[in-house]
Amino acid sequence: MEKKKLQKTAAVHLVCAQKLNSKGWSAEESHYIGEKAGQEADYCILPYPRLRVVVFYPQKIEDEAARLEKIRRVAAEVLSVLRKEKTGAVEVDGTAWRNEEDVLAFMEGLYLSSYVFDEFKTEKASGVEISLKANPAVHKKLARTQILCHEVNRCKYLVDLPFTALNASGLAKWAKKDASKSGISVKSWTKAELEKMGMGGLWGVNKGSVDAPSFTMMEYWPAKPKNKKPVVLVGKGVVFDAGGMNIKTGNYMEDMKTDMAGAALAMAVVRTVAQLKLPLHVVALLPSTDNRLNGNALVCGDIIKMYDGTTVEITNTDAEGRLLLADAVAYAQKNLNPALVVSMATLTGAASRALGSEGIAAMQEKADRYVPCLLQAGEYTHERLCFFPMWKEYEKELESEVADMKNCGKGAAGMITAAKFVGHFTQAPFLHLDVAGVEFLHKRDAYRGPGATGFGIRLMVRFLENCAL
C-alpha cells in the first residue's frame, strides 16, 4: 500500500529575532511573533489564513556544533507538530538566515525526522514533501544533505527490518541494489567459496544456522583518488543474534534484528561517498550470518581456524560478531593493503553500559593521527565518540591454553578486549567503533528514532571528506 499524500501545505519561515521584517505579516502577527521572540521561544505557529511556522535563529549559542544540533532538533520538533496537523507538504523559506550551514542543518533535521518505518502496517503513514527557498549558495550544497539523509534513512530501514525480511543473503542483495549506478563494484562469495577460502570465523558462526552466510565487498574506486591505499570499512552483519549455544535470556534477544547495523552503516557510507563523487578509494566488507543454535552450532571449547590461520578457542558463542569482523579484517590485510581499517559493529553490551545512547565507544591502534579529525567530525554532526585505551595488558584476557587466542575475555573491559581481538588481524592503522547503544532507540529523541538511527554515517562521511588520508 502506498503512502497517502495529504494536500495541506505549511510554510516554515526561518527568521532572525533581532531583524524581524514586518513585510508579509499583519500588525497582529508581527506583534505575536515579536512577543514570542522576546520570550526566547524556538518557534511559533500562525494557523490562519494558512498554517505557518516561524522559527527563530538561536543566536545566543556561540558554539557552532551546539548551534547546529539545536537547529536540527528544532526542525524535528517542527515536523512533529506539522505531522499532527496532517500536513502533506512543507515549504521552507531560509533566505533570512545568512549562514549556509545553519539552513542546511534545519533541512537535515527535517529529512532525518521524516523517516517512518511502517513497512508492515496496513495503514501507511502520510508522506511529507519538503522543499526549500534559499540563497543560491545553499542550494548548491543541498544535494549533499539530501543524498546523505537519504542514505541514513535507507540504513534505518534495513536495520528496522525483521529477520524474516532480511537474512544474510538478503543483506548481500541490498548491497548490490543500485550500486553500479554510482560507480560501486560489488562482489559476493557463496557459502562453498567461503569454506574454501578458510573463513573459519564466519563459517563457524554460521554452523548453527539453516541459512547460508554471505560475504560481500563493495568498492568505490574513482579515477584519481586522493588516497593511494583504500580506506576499508568492515561492518558486522549478524542479521539476528540469538547468542548461539550461549543463548540470550529474558529480553536481551528482543532487538537482535539490529545486530547487522554495522554492515548497514558501512554500506551507507560507501554509497554516500560514491554518490557525492568524493575522490576517495573506499571499500566496505560485509560478513553476514545469523547466530542461532542447532545440532551443528559451535559450543564452548571448540577451536576454529580463522582466515589468516590463527586458531581461536571459543569460550562464549555469544561473542560471535568479532569472529566475523576478524575474518573480514584479515581478508583486507591480505588482499587490499589498506591505509586504514575501520570496524563498525554493535559489538558489546559494555559499550552501551558505558555511554548509553549518547555516543560511540571508540578504540584505535596505530591510528593516532586520525583521532582529532574523527573527534571534530563527531562534534560537528553530534555523533560523538569517546576513545578508550587499547593497552597491551588487555591482551592477557584473550590468552588461551589450547589455541592461539580465545574469542572472549572474562568480562572486565569487554568492549576493549573485543576490539583487541579484531585488531589482532591487521597490521594497518585500525579504528574500532562500537555502536551498541546508539544504533537503535525505543523512544524518539528529536530526529533519532524510535527504532534505528543510522548513527555514525554522518560522522564517517564528514571524517572522510575532511581528513587527510
Among residues 73, 257, 322, 458, the one annotated as catalytic is 322
Residue 460's closest CA among 376, 390, 392?
376
What angle is formed at CA 339 by the lines to CA 276 and CA 286, rounded to 5 degrees? 65
Give SS3 for 43. strand
Say which amino acid occupies 148.
L
Among residues 229, 248, 305, 366, the one annotated as catalytic is 248
Contacts 24+ apart (CB under 8 A), 139-143: 141/100, 141/104, 142/104, 142/107
Reading the block at residue 224, the C-alpha cell is 584519481
Our answer to whether residue 86 is catalytic in this structure is: no
- CA dihedral (232, 272, 372, 369) positive or negative: positive
Say which amino acid occupies 187.
K
Give SS3 for 464. helix
Q: Is 424 left (phi over 0), alpha (psi -120 to 50) or beta?
A: alpha
SS (H, E, C) 126-187: CECEEEEECCHHHHHHHHHHHHHHHHHHHHHHHHHCCHHHCCHHHHHHHHHCCCHHHCEEEE
Our answer to whether residue 277 is catalytic in this structure is: no
DSSP states along 340-367: EEEEEE---HHHHHHHTTS-EEEEEES-
Residues catalogued as catalytic: 248, 322
